Chain A
Amino acid sequence: MSRFLRDSGHLIRPALVLLAGLGLFLLVRSAVIPKAFGQYGHYRPAALDLNRQKPLVFAGQGTCIECHDDQAKTRAAGKHAHVACEACHGAQATHAADPLGLKPTLPDVATLCARCHEKDAAKPKTFPQVVTAEHSGGALCNTCHQPHNPHL
């Protein structure tokens, strides 16, 4: 038995090296692993908060209506009732945060209306669309159409 141990005793050395390596790994792992990882699933719970904490760029029409309720009433009576304010006016969260300091610029009518209403074979047939070049003889859309309640 002792002769066997003498002849194979050297094998304990690589075994010890490997075990030491494993031990070191487990030690480092327990120190470095993110706390609470796995609480809701295989991820850091902090990731949910990271995704929630982004700043708003669009205010959402609920916020616009708080001040601009007369435009909202005009809109509600017409065909643009379901078009949100920022769909035409652009992102206004900064304006909503500082209404008097940051006044938004009005959208450019020449390009804005055509984006939706330019005639296109792929658009639904029931959707109001015109060939803008032939429609108004060069006049801007808001010459005849009031944007908040556009139907004539």
Chain B
Amino acid sequence: MEISRRELLTQCSRLLILTATAAKALEKTGTPPGPDDTYHVAEHWWGMIIDIDKCIGCGNCVRACSKENQVPDGYFRTWVERYQVTEDREHPLVESPNGAINGFPPATREDTKSFYVPKLCNHCVDSPCVQVCPVGATFVSPDGVVLVDPEYCLGCRYCVQACPYGCRYYHPEKKIVDKCTLCYHRITKGLTTACCESCPTGARQLVDLKNPKDPVHEFLRNNKVQVLKPQMATGSKVYYKNLDGSVR
């Protein structure tokens, strides 16, 4: 079949325009924001600050999180560890009875350096768990929260293996991976997280690094601050004040 160059060019450009238009028309964005939606993801960059000197190991945070997020028994989105460190810093005595959901039995040894360490998902910027997800079911949101897509997760648990902090678990009923969401459903409404809300001493505080008035800036400037496992270079956004070197 003979076709002239002009005809070929005309047909091809028609096809191109049609395809481009069709593609645009078929493209649907995600759910459009509601009429009273004042939360803009681009304005926030969430993290948490934890003051070790204030934590009393009451376990309120663990209980509150469990209630707020229907965390299944035996699994933990947040937990508290108690360290009792002697001069042999290689072998601290560490315990977390049932994640400290019922607090701790009293520590009686006065000859050790003892303290409590609350732990949760560090909402890493260079998150190794996000890196390994084969399908994109876990991700860093535009406002810095590492979330799981419960309808997309396969339950392969590669992310559980990749997390250096042990903050992920496999939900036994939903058969997906679950973890701390930084109470995304609360913070996007201007509330604080359940754990910070119920912490009686203010040891845990939600922070917004993009907010110039947020106390985090002064906190980071004025204190000796550490993150967990800094050698992993995960870009953790949970900052601890006065975290002892023996903490793993």
Given contacts A35-B27, A46-B30, A60-B192, contact A91 B68 (CB under 8 A): yes
B106–A120 CB distance below 8 A: yes
Task: Give the segment of B5-13, B195-203, B216-224 that binds chain A.
Answer: B195-203
On chain A, the residues within 8 Å of B83 by CB distance are 122
On chain B, the residues within 8 Å of A60 by CB distance are 186, 191-192, 197
Given contacts A58-B64, A58-B197, A60-B197, contact A120 B57 (CB under 8 A): yes
Contact with B along A20-41 (1 / 0, CB 8 A): 0000000000000011110111
Option from B84, B104, B185 in Cβ contact (under 8 Å) with A54: B185
On chain B, the residues within 8 Å of A91 by CB distance are 64, 67-68
A136 to chain B, nearest CB (A): 17
Q: Does B141 count as interface, using CB distance less than 8 angstroms?
A: yes
Q: Does A8 count as interface, using CB distance less than 8 angstroms?
A: no
Q: Does B69 count as interface, using CB distance less than 8 angstroms?
A: yes
Q: How many residues of B contact A (CB 8 A)?
A: 60
A37–B136 CB distance below 8 A: yes
Given contacts A50-B149, A58-B68, contact A45 B200 (CB under 8 A): no
A51–B181 CB distance below 8 A: yes
On chain B, the residues within 8 Å of A127 by CB distance are 56, 201
- Shortest 8 CB-CB contacts between residues of A and residues of B: A45-B30, A47-B149, A122-B114, A43-B139, A54-B185, A42-B136, A87-B198, A121-B107
Binding site for A on B (CB under 8 A): 27-31, 41, 53-60, 64, 67-69, 82-84, 103-104, 106-110, 112, 114-116, 136-142, 147-152, 181, 184-186, 188-189, 191-192, 194, 197-202
